[in-house]
Amino acid sequence: MQKMDLYGHTDIVNELLARYGVKFGIYKNNEFKEQLFPFDAIPRIIGNHEFAYLEKGLKQRVTALNLFIQDIYGDKKIIRDKVVPEEFVYASSGYLAQCEGVAAPQGIHAHIAGIDLVQGKNGEWYILEDNLRVPSGASYPMIARELCRRSSPRTFQEYHIEDNRNYARMLRKVMDHVNTGGHTVILTPGRYNAAYFEHSYLAEKTGAHLVTGSELIVDNDHLYFKDYSGRMEPVGAVYRRISDEYLDPMNFRRDSVIGIPHIYDIYRKGNVALINAPGNGVADDKGIYYFVPKMVTYYLGEEPILQNAPTYLPFYEDDMRYVLENFDNLVLKDVAEAGGYGVVFGNKMTKQQKEDFIALLKKEPRRFIAQEVIDFLDIDIMDEGKEVPRKADLRAFVLMGEEPMVWKSGLTRFSRNPDSFIVNSSQGGGFKDTWVLSQ
Amino acid sequence: MKELHFLYEMNLAFDRPVEKHRFTLKCVPCSSSRQEISKLTVEVFPKEFLSTDEDSFGNYCIYGYSEGMHDHFSVRVEGRAKTGLAAWEPAREEHCIGMYKYQTDYTKPGPAITAFAGRFTFAPDMSGYDRALAYMRELHERFSYVQGVTDIHTTAEEAMAQGEGVCQDYSHILLSLCRMEHIPARYVVGMLMGEGLSHAWVEVYSGGRWIALDPTNNLVVDDQHIRISVGRDYGDCTINQGIFVGQTTQTQEAKVLVEEIYSPE
Amino acid sequence: MGIISVENTDRLYWLGRYSERVYTTIRLFAVSFDDMIDNYIDSYADFCKSLDIPNIYTSKENFIERYCFDPEDPNSIYSNLMRAYDNCVTLREELGSETVSYIQLAVYEMQRARISTAPLIELQKVVDNILAFWGIVDDCIDSQNVRNIIKIGKRIERLDLYGRLRMPREEMLREVHRLSGRITQTQLKYRVDYLREIERLVEDTEIDYCTVVMKVDHLLEES
């Protein structure tokens, strides 16, 4: 492919990203710092047909996951029918007993799903992880696209790319669909949250109010937002970017100071929509991940379109045997950890580490999953003017409104370090725009 | 079968006034196949709004808000209960009550509980109820009722290690033992005949039924107990939970009075 | 929308105040800096006194360095700009990314000035961006309420600074006039009696600057 005009404008785009404050926050030595999220101008390009296939598979997967959450906190048929062993549900830290028997408005639990995929060298796409709690990242390609178009209009004349700036409209649609009557707000833990830029940017683009917990109040079984003139404005939908545990000190963690007391009680009564619904962690647990293809078949009666990365559960004897025999070829993940932590590669351990790990694995087999190391299809990035290959994943966004919608873009993250497989932004690394070709 | 009059009173005194007080109360008994509640009155003071709800464990909750400054908060629940209407309560299907089968932070066993459990060998066909009963009998022998040596944060393992505690500890230990055997078991808060404090015991799942055991008194619950709430452990059954704004020291006084009503005939 | 929360009202107001404080103190500093080139080893002492800030500085160089750029000095221009920034980034959905970007740019310029050999030149760019910020506030923000609250902050801050600096009557009159014209257009609660008193005080032959400053500082407090 001929060099795009856009590549020459990488610095300009990064400068503009800085200008608009596109940052994420991190804590270093207990001090809050804001860091720019480095942008690489070489896009990930997905063809029209290929994306149609992904779109179909993603809709299918998230539909099944949503049904699973509904079932787990309801009739639990999937447990009764022994498709998912109950210990994986109840021992999961994402399972919340408080959600038992609670119906989500419009039956939607996973309003915004961030599904992480990788592409293997064989061209096959694999699902790495489902994120159904508060997945972040959509704002970055959204604003990057805006700025890329500004920096290099020529590129966007030459290529026919699906516009990804419709994300805000899609999100608004989802929020309006479940709104129980009143304003829509985005609830942020505050300015010192890692994803604060995203919270404020999505608020700006969707026209929702950005609020912190102290600005909302439960009164007479409804949620209100207090205006400066003292007026109480009803709120019908809360896109909350704080985790379940901190949402309501009267129902979850009692020491939470960023939540809204009793919001969960009125949610239970159907008087406000929470986006995403509490309790979703039960479905994006690394242990449950193994069962997602089975859920697709169970709930939808269909063959799963998208595959998981080949995964083994040491919980099952056969799998444990396989894991021990092929230890060096596998990557092991602690189901309780997230963000690239708790991930170890069999072949990178010392003899002692390996022995210790295997002892732990035998003691707590449910705690780990093992996966084949996928031979990633690398993507080029610009490194000091040269194009060099790096590992990258794709976070696709699936939004559940009246029906599931897949955003025709996504966040492509890459690792800066040539040897690293971990692309999480909290561990260095940058991002790319994801282009879906429209023809 | 008995007909009981019950009274639950709780007074919270603040040495300096507080405001913006949010509270959730689980202190009202409900009718079930085992007990029938009537003539119920509930008073909460002060309050700006009060609402009720049923939580995920099926408990009746009262929640509300007192916005203005206040230096005390009180709750009074009074009514009648017919108890001992049945020996057990029907349970949902076993796959639906899985949450009661797994250990919580309060019940997670350690060396002391594991050692205790090691003494038992059960025949494979022995029912959950019989196993729980065996645990309860043995626990009664080996654990002493002593007040003041444990508090609301004490775990089953900690209590077992020191060999002493109160009804909360007896119950957590029994839950831990049952769950080690994969027997669904739940924590119960309620009132016991006589005058005193709220009481705690356990319900064990066996053959589609919830059967109540009172490990503190080493007995199968009959008609002397009035159940208020159930949950996985103490944490799910907190009688009074609140948050407020103000720097204060609070003193809580609670009183339970349960007396038998003798009909004149 | 048209609804502004109590918190955001507060932030808009302080964004107005701090952006004004940065703007005016840079201009004052530039004058003082010029003074210090020629003589007056401790003219910075007068500067501190006139602004009513503690003179914690040990030398002319120390003053220039710390008063402009020290994040640890709560009275530094840097600290005031960071306060403006902290309020601004939490107002993206009220102000819009375009508007917010000018305060962000001012922060970058400030960071450049800090390591520059000619800080006054770089500080001018901070001023440029603040002026652009006010321009876009006027031009691009649809909500009159949002605009007014920022401007009330700005006007109050300016009057406060001018009072401390004992500015001549015409300047005081103009600023009081601008403030009273604006404040009635908002639904902000303010002390009408204080405003009347300020209007009267600046007409006096001997302006009682101390009282003016005090009344200005308490103008928005409820009676």
How far away is chain A from the Cα of C101, in angstroms, using its nearest Cα?
A: 5
Residue A219 pLDDT greater than 70, yes or no: yes
Using one digit for the tens of pLDDT, what is the confidence trace for C183-208?
A: 888 778 889 999 999 999 999 888 99
Would you call C187 an interface residue with chain A, using a CB distance cutoff of 8 Å?
yes
Q: Count Cβ atoms below 10 Å from residue A175 Cβ, excluding itself.
A: 24
Between chain A and chain B, the number of residue pairs with CB atoms below 8 A apart is: 62
Question: Of A223-232, A407-416, B76-85, which gets the smallest average pLDDT?
Answer: A223-232
Using one digit for the tens of pLDDT, what is the confidence trace for B52-90?
A: 999 999 999 999 999 999 999 999 999 999 999 999 999
Number of residues in chain B:
265
Asked if A18's CB is within 8 angstroms of C108's CB, the reply is yes
Q: Which two tokens stand for residue A43?
A: 């896009």
Residues of C in contact with A207 (CB under 8 A): 1, 93
How far away is chain A from the Cα of B30, in angstroms, using its nearest Cα?
A: 19
Residues A318 and A223 in one domain: no
Pairing of strands B144-145, B164-165: parallel
List residues of chain A with CB under 8 Å from any CB of chain C.
18-21, 143, 183, 191, 196, 200-201, 203-204, 207-212, 214-215, 225-229, 231, 233
How far away is chain A from the Cα of B261, in angstroms, using its nearest Cα?
A: 37
Residue A237: name the closest of A265, A276, A291 by CA.
A276
Number of residues in chain A:
439
The structure's pTM equals 0.93
Q: Give CA–CA dist B134/A380, Å, rounded.
A: 67
Residue C1 pLDDT greater than 60, yes or no: no
Residues of A in contact with C187 (CB under 8 A): 228-229
Percent of chain B with pLDDT over 70: 99
Q: Does domain B89-237 have CATH number 3.10.620.30?
A: yes
Residue A268: name the closest of A252, A256, A285, A288 by CA.
A252
Total domain count, chain A:
2
Residue B248 pLDDT greater than 90, yes or no: yes
Q: Give CA–CA dist A388/C178, Å, rounded.
A: 59
Residues of B in contact with A261 (CB under 8 A): 22, 243
Domain boundary among A372, A391, A416: A372
Residue A425 pLDDT greater than 60, yes or no: no
Using one digit for the tens of pLDDT, what is the confidence trace for C24-80?
A: 999 988 888 887 777 666 678 888 888 888 999 988 888 889 999 999 999 999 999
Percent of chain B with pLDDT over 90: 97
How far away is chain A from the Cα of B118, in angstroms, using its nearest Cα?
A: 19
Using one digit for the tens of pLDDT, what is the confidence trace for A331-353?
A: 999 887 766 677 888 888 999 99
Residue given tokens 């302006």 in the structure block: C207
Using one digit for the tens of pLDDT, what is the confidence trace for A264-281?
A: 999 999 999 999 999 999
Round to the nearest angstrom and report the end-to-end CA distance of chain C.
Answer: 30
pLDDT band for position A423 (cuts 50, 70, 90): low
Report the chain A residue with the minimal C-alpha distance to residue B232. Answer: A97
Backbone angle region of A101, left / alpha / beta, with phi > 0 → left and psi within -120 to 50 → alpha: left
pLDDT band for position C5 (cuts 50, 70, 90): confident
Helices (H), A136-242: 139-151, 153-158, 167-178, 196-206
Residues A275 and A350 in one domain: no
Pairing of strands A343-345, A330-334: antiparallel
pLDDT band for position A424 (cuts 50, 70, 90): low
Asked if A207's CB is within 8 angstroms of C5's CB, the reply is no
Q: Give CA–CA dist A51/A55, Å, rounded.
A: 6
Q: Which two tokens stand for residue B88?
A: 């057990």
- β-strand partners of B25: B62, B240
Pairing of strands B225-231, B185-192: antiparallel
What are φ and ψ of residue A222, in 5° steps?
-135, 160
Interface test with B, best of A232, A265, A269 (most B CBs within 10 A): A265
Residues A349 and A201 in one domain: no
Using one digit for the tens of pLDDT, what is the confidence trace for C130-167?
A: 999 999 999 988 888 899 999 999 999 999 999 998 99
Among partner residues C6, C101, C104, which is closest to A228 by beta-carbon distance?
C6
Query: Distances in Å between the alpha carbon of C196 and those of A51, B65, B174, C190, C222?
Result: 67, 41, 75, 11, 15
Q: Which two tokens stand for residue A34?
A: 């804001």
Q: Which of residues 97-156 of C touch A (CB under 8 A)?
A: 97, 100-101, 104-105, 108
Query: Distances in Å between the alpha carbon of B100 and those of A361, B256, C209?
Result: 26, 28, 72
**Mean pLDDT to the nearest integer, A5-24:** 91
Percent of chain C with pLDDT over 70: 96
pLDDT band for position A146 (cuts 50, 70, 90): very high
**Mean pLDDT to the nearest integer, A365-380:** 90
Residue A100 pLDDT greater than 70, yes or no: yes
What is the per-residue pLDDT for C41?
Answer: 62
In three-state secondary structure terms, A67 is helix
- β-strand partners of A139: none
Q: Give CA–CA dist B161/B111, Å, rounded.
A: 8
Cα torsion C170, C173, C179, C182 to 10°: value is -90
Pairing of strands A411-414, B60-66: unpaired
How far away is chain A from the Cα of C139, in angstroms, using its nearest Cα?
A: 18
What is the per-residue pLDDT for A369?
Answer: 93
Residues A50 and A66 in one domain: yes
Q: Which amino acid is at A97?
A: A
Residue A170 pLDDT greater than 80, yes or no: yes
ipTM field: 0.93
Percent of chain C with pLDDT over 90: 63
Residues of C in contact with A210 (CB under 8 A): 90, 92-93
Residue A221: name the closest of B245, B61, B238 by CA.
B61
Considering the four listed CATH numbers 3.40.640.10, 1.20.1600.10, 2.60.40.2250, 3.30.70.100, the one that applies to the domain covering B2-84+240-260 is 2.60.40.2250
Domain boundary among A322, A351, A372: A372
Residues A94 and A149 in one domain: yes
What rounded mean pLDDT belongs to chain A? 92
**Mean pLDDT to the nearest integer, A78-99:** 94
Cα torsion B67, B69, B73, B78 to 10°: value is -50
Q: CATH no. for residue A344? A: 3.30.1490.270
Residue A293 pLDDT greater than 80, yes or no: yes
Q: Count Cβ atoms below 10 Å from residue B195 Cβ, excluding itself.
A: 11
Per-position DSSP letters for A401-421, written without gaps between them: SSSEEE-S--EEEE-SSTT--
- Domain encompassing residue A185: 2-303+376-436
Burial A20-45 (b: 16+ CB within 10 A, else e): bbbbbeeeeeeeeeeeebbbbbbbbe
Residue B265 pLDDT greater than 60, yes or no: no
Residue A403: name the closest of A69, A108, A169, A195 by CA.
A108
pLDDT band for position A181 (cuts 50, 70, 90): very high
Contact A127, A115 (CB under 8 A): yes
Using one digit for the tens of pLDDT, what is the confidence trace for B138-187?
A: 999 999 999 999 999 999 999 999 999 999 999 999 999 999 999 999 99
Q: Which of residues 38-97 of B touch A (CB under 8 A)?
A: 48-49, 51, 53, 55-57, 61, 63, 65, 93, 95-96
Residue given tokens 């007014």 in the structure block: C148
Residues A25 and A135 in one domain: yes
What is the per-residue pLDDT for A16?
Answer: 95
Per-position DSSP letters for chain B, written without gaps between them: -EEEEEEEEEEEEEEEEEEEEEEEE-------SS-EEEEEEEEEES-SEEEEEE-TTS-EEEEEEE-S-EEEEEEEEEEEEEE-S-S-EEPPPGGG-GGGTS--TTT---HHHHHHHTT----TT--HHHHHHHHHHHHHHH-EE-TTS--TT--HHHHHHHTEE-HHHHHHHHHHHHHHTT--EEEEEEEESEEES-EEEEEEEETTEEEEEETTTTEE--SSEEEEEEESSGGGG-SEEEEEES---EEEEEEEEEEEPPP--
**Mean pLDDT to the nearest integer, B17-33:** 96
Percent of chain A with pLDDT over 70: 97
What rounded mean pLDDT belongs to chain B? 95
In three-state secondary structure terms, C222 is coil
Domain boundary among A372, A393, A410: A372
Query: Distances in Å between the alpha carbon of A352 and those of A61, A362, C163?
Result: 40, 16, 73
Give A336-342 contacts, CB < 8 A, sequence gap 24+.
A336/A93, A336/A367, A339/A424, A339/A426, A339/A427, A340/A422, A340/A423, A340/A424, A340/A426, A340/A427
How far away is chain B from the Cα of A166, in angstroms, using its nearest Cα?
A: 38
Cα A268 from chain centre: 25
Q: Which two tokens stand for residue B194?
A: 């006589």
Q: Which two tokens stand for residue B38?
A: 């009537």
Residue A210 pLDDT greater than 60, yes or no: yes
Residue C145: name the closest of B174, A228, A430 by CA.
A228
Domain ranges of chain B: 2-84+240-260, 89-237
**Subunits with at least 3 CB pairs below 8 A relative to chain A?**
B, C
B/A Cβ contact: 3+ pairs below 8 Å: yes
